[in-house]
Structure 1
Amino acid sequence: MLKKVVLALAVLIVGLGALVASRPSTFRVERSITMASPVEIPFGAVNDFHKWRFWSPWDALDPKMQVTFDGAYAGPGAIYTWSGNDQVGKGKMTNLEAQPYDSIRIQLDFLEPWPASNVTTFTFKTVPEGTQMTWAMEGNNNFMGKAFSLFMDMDGMVGKDFEKGLASLKKLSEEEAKNRREREALMKAREEAEAAKAAEPAQTATPTP
């Protein structure tokens, strides 16, 4: 009887191992959004890690999260490290490449709750409505990652965070675009008023009898 139990467990373990091994060795999560904003606004909000706190979906999960900035202030070479609660974990982002108003590539290294290294890419495209922005993450699945994928849907889990972040960035960018238009309209009105005033003929004083 014991031999049968051991044999059954062995078959189960081998079967489970084969099932895990059959899972995809790579993954990709991607979400897109279109916003009524010139491309330089969302591009700048992503390219500068200091601005992530205004739109990142993870900052709100831990208001006490510790953040440090190293390397370049923004763009390639900029480094962002964070350490927070169980929901945000601990890790580091490094800006690898930034093609102005086209794409940004970031190395994303998770340290806790489990180590992982992925590449995140933001792409920007000018469209009639404003800007179409895509946020994607790619990585490799080791054995633990494959086992994890049996119980958790990476696309559904991470994709929801991407959707929240893109929605926040859309709101931020469209508000900034609106503020710019209002400032430009105000400056133009002032310039036109000053030009009109300067064009008025000088009034000559009427001599008193």
Structure 2
Amino acid sequence: MERSRTIAAPTAQILAEIVDFRRWTAWSPWEDADPAMTREYSGADSGVGARYRWSGNRRAGEGSMEIVGVDPAGVDIRLTFTRPMTADNVVRFDLTADGAGTRATWSMTGETSGLAGLVSRIVPMDRLVGRDFERGLERLDAVATADTGRER
């Protein structure tokens, strides 16, 4: 599944928001899921090797992410859910020049099995998280365009 949005900011600005998990608190669509959610950052500060682990209520769940690839055109992330269901996914942010801005495409792929596989047969993954991706890209747009022209 994937969602895209053109953002009126340079690719480098958007890339900086994605490769630093600490910046995700400003735009991730799941930040509102649990105000008491715990977060742990490890590995590199940003880029390849940066790791993020969270644990929260049922909506937030529990899992981890690790940045496994970065290039000027995007970021690859390994996403693992451990609760409420287990799943391993590959997340990709593709960034391409689009006029005066950047086309950001957020995609997620992975196989579902067990309880997650059963749920995905009833309610497709696109329907479960598609709106979250849209909201996340909208928030990323707001953060990236607010920061255009300013150093962070």
Give per-residue Cα distances to partners, 1:55-79, cap 9 Å, x unaligned. 0000111121100100111000010
Take 1:166 and 1:46, find their aligned partners in 2: how far apart are those partners? Answer: 11
Alignment pair present for 1:44 and 2:16:
yes
Instruction: Flag the 1:98–1:152 CA change in 2: closer, same or farther, 3 A.
Output: same
Aligned residues of 1:55 and 1:165 also touching (Cα < 8 A): yes
1:176-195 per-residue CA deviation (whole Å, 9 max, x = no partner) reads: 11xx17x9xxxxxxxxxxxx
Equivalent of residue 130 in structure 1, options 90, 94, 101: 101
Choose between structure 1 and 2 for higher RCO, CA contacts under 8 A separated by at least 6 residues. 2
**Gaps in structure 2 of 5+ consecutive residues:** none
Task: Flag structure 1 segments of 5+ consecutive residues without an equivalent.
Answer: 1-28, 184-209
Alignment of 1:108-119 (within 5 A): 108-119=79-90
Which residue of 53, 73, 78 maps to 2:50? Answer: 78
Secondary structure of the structure 2 residue equivalent to 1:37: coil
Alignment match, 2:138:
167
- Structure with higher Rg: it is 1
* CA RMSD of superposed structures (Å): 1.4
Is the CA contact (8 Å cut-off) linking 1:34 and 1:129 kept in structure 2?
no
Q: Where does structure 1 differ by over 6 angstroms across 4 or more consecutive aligned residues?
A: none
**Mapped contact 2:86–2:116 kept (Cα < 8 A):** no
- Look up the equivalent residue of 1:133 and give its one-letter code: A
- Is 1:104 matched up with 2:75? yes
* TM-score with structure 1 setting the length: 0.69
1:147 shift after superposition: 1.8
* Residue of structure 1 aligned with 2:122, choices 121, 141, 151: 151
Residue of structure 1 aligned with 2:147, choices 176, 180, 183: 176
- Please list the CA deviations of residues 114-134 of structure 1 after superposition, one character each: whole Å capped at 9, or x if unmatched: 111000000100111310000
* In structure 2, C-alpha distance between the alignment counterparts of 1:149 and 1:49, rounded to whole Å: 27
Name the one with the larger strand percent: 2
TM-score, normalization: structure 2? 0.94
Identity, in percent, stands at 36
Aligned residue in 2 for 1:139 = 110
Q: Which has the higher helix share?
A: 1
Q: Is the 8 A contact 1:76 1:98 kept in 2?
A: yes
Instruction: Report Cα offsets for 1:103-149 as digits up to 9, x if no partner.
Output: 10000000100111000000100111310000000001224333212
How many residue pairs end up in the alignment?
Answer: 151
